[in-house]
Amino acid sequence: MTRKVTIRDLAEAAGVSVTTVSQILNGKGERFSLDTRRRVHQLQEELGYVPDFNARNLIMKSAQTIGVLVPNLGNPFFSMFIRGVQEASREQHFIPLIFGANHDEKLESYYVEELIKRAVDGLIIASASITAEAIDNILKKNGIPYLLIDQNGGPSLDRIRIDDERGGQLAAEHLLSLGHRKIAVVMPEHPTDNLVIRLAGFKERLAESGVMLPDSAVVISPMTKLGGYQATAGVMTQKPTAVFAINDETALGLMRGLHEQGLNVPTDISVMGYDDIDLDEYVVPKLSSIRQPVVTMGQQATTLLINRIQDQRQAAQLVDLPVELRQRESTGPVK
């Protein structure tokens, strides 16, 4: 490979100064004669000149880059989220740096630090393990704008708010309408804000109909397929007619567990998920769920963040996103 072509080479070849080249190539070259502009562009093609990324960033103080931290890339919910992020990033000529932290606090800290070192312009954090305060601390100190997902009450300036309370209510209404009165819930040990709110909405709506959800009916288990599977025993001791799994992954694991125990969904027990991942349509029985507009969430989060990056002093932005019930086959009338 030959040495890299620099702006200097190009300037020399075109018989102009580096200033001229730089200006023209950056769309600020109206002041130059058409002839010069054409010549520069043509020679760029010929020589295959590509501005050096690092040199440019050094001056510009921005690499047009955002960091994105999700708990688990394997969860379709987050891969959909990422998809939204990538779409919006592309439109704005940003590049997302994506990391799955696998629910590991050490890893999260490592990535956040690494991203700061690498001078990302902003951060989207959809990860539960680090506390919001710790994040706020380190990022604010570094002057890096950020957005927290799944932390409706967090300290970040801009917010994208999903109506989790309504989501919980919808789930409750649906189960109530099918006649369920004895209901269990599967939740993780350290729920993020949105999950707490989700559960609150659920309980609240239940209570309105005179159905109490005792603490004992809330089975604690990790938010993964395995976690759902492992929660099976805990759920069964409650002998509920319906279970509300806090997300679809968990629901999928739980359904497998119930199946192994010889229970039929939904005739013996109804299962309600949350997130509306694409898999819901394929499993047997199809999983009833609450839909979150997750691709939109990714897009909006990205847009909000980039807006913030481009104008740090603008007013706080707020986006509200709706949820809706997706009734499928895993929920049915109580016997």
List 74, 191, 234, 293, residue binding a second copy (CB under 8 A): 74
List 92, 142, 296, 307, residue binding a second copy (CB under 8 A): 142
| Residue 270: closest CA among 160, 202, 177 | 177
- In the complex with DNA, the residue whose CB is nearer, 4 or 182, is 4
Residue type, 55: A
Alpha helical stretches, state H, the chain: 7-14, 18-25, 34-47, 53-60, 76-91, 105-117, 132-141, 164-177, 193-208, 225-230, 232-237, 248-260, 294-310
List 16, 185, 283, 294, residue binding a second copy (CB under 8 A): 283
Contacts of 183 (CB under 8 A, 6+ apart): 175, 206, 211, 213, 217, 240, 241, 242, 243, 244
**How many residues in the shown chain lie near a second copy by CB under 8 A?**
47
Nearest approach, Cβ of 97 to a second copy (angstroms)?
6
For DNA, the binding residues (CB under 7 A) are: 4, 6-8, 15-20, 22-23, 25-26, 28, 31-33, 35-36, 49, 51-52, 55-56, 58-60
Give the number of other Cβ atoms within 10 Å of residue 59's Cβ.
7
Do 270 and 175 form a contact (C-beta atoms < 8 A)?
yes
For strands 318-321 and 270-272, give the pairing: unpaired
- In the complex with DNA, the residue whose CB is nearer, 1 or 60, is 60
Per rule CB under 8 A, is residue 63 in the interface with a second copy?
Answer: yes
- In the complex with a second copy, the residue whose CB is nearer, 202 or 229, is 229
Q: Which residues bind a second copy (CB under 8 A)?
A: 1, 48, 50, 52-55, 57-58, 63, 73-74, 76, 79-80, 82-83, 86, 90, 95, 97-100, 102, 110, 114, 116-119, 141-143, 225, 229, 252-253, 255-256, 259, 278-279, 281-284
